[in-house]
Amino acid sequence: MTDILYSPWRIKYILSEKEKKCIFCLKPSKKDDEKNLILFRSDSSFVIINTFPYNNGHLMVVTNNHVSSLNDLNDIQLNDLFKIVRLCEKVLKKVYNPDGINIGLNLGKAAGAGIDEHLHVHIVPRWIGDVNFMTSISGTRVIPESFEKTYKLLKEQFDNAKVKK
């Protein structure tokens, strides 16, 4: 059986007026990580909570470089990106104990990238039965936890985490 990640509530984001400048360049430059939901920074990337999530704990690992392809990263940057993806998996398992995790990249608009000019990796915790009647019938997604609560729960784990070499 194939799982389908159905997300009609994201139409609000798709149809919304977009920031003229790249939000993945703007948010980390503001230096207010809590307000901008940035959980962790490494030398080449950062972790941010997705404000249009598929599920609680939907994270994105974003490169510091404004690039759109994995081929635009050098080996050090690429290695750092995936070390941080691995760290996100560890933190999400500890905090939320999901039944599974989707990890993915959408390279280009045709592949589904909402922000195609700045490379980012989605990490989405999943639970058996996490798509319920609200999503299926009314096109409404229930995210039971506030961004502030999610931030606090995850931030503590990222602050205490060690990145594997």
pLDDT tens, residue by residue, 98-125: 999 999 998 888 887 778 899 999 999 9
What's the rounded Cα separation, in Å, for the pair 31 and 49?
A: 15
Chain-wide mean pLDDT for the chain?
84
Q: Virtual CA dihedral for 82, 21, 107, 154, nearest 10 degrees?
A: 40
Model confidence at 79: pLDDT above 70:
yes
Q: Point out the catalytic residue in the list 58, 66, 120, 122.
A: 120
Model confidence at 57: pLDDT above 90:
yes
- The domains of the chain, with CATH numbers, are 20-160 (3.30.428.10)
What's the rounded Cα separation, in Å, for the pair 6 and 130?
A: 11
* pLDDT band at 143; cut points 50, 70, 90: low
Residues 6+ apart with CB under 8 A from 59: 39, 47, 48, 49, 50, 88, 92, 122, 123, 124, 154
Model confidence at 13: pLDDT above 60:
yes
In the chain, pLDDT over 70 holds for what percent of residues? Answer: 80
- Is the pTM higher than 0.85? The answer reads no
Specify the DSSP class assigned to residue 12: H
The reply to whether 58 belongs to the active site is no
What's the rounded Cα separation, in Å, for the pair 80 and 46?
A: 10
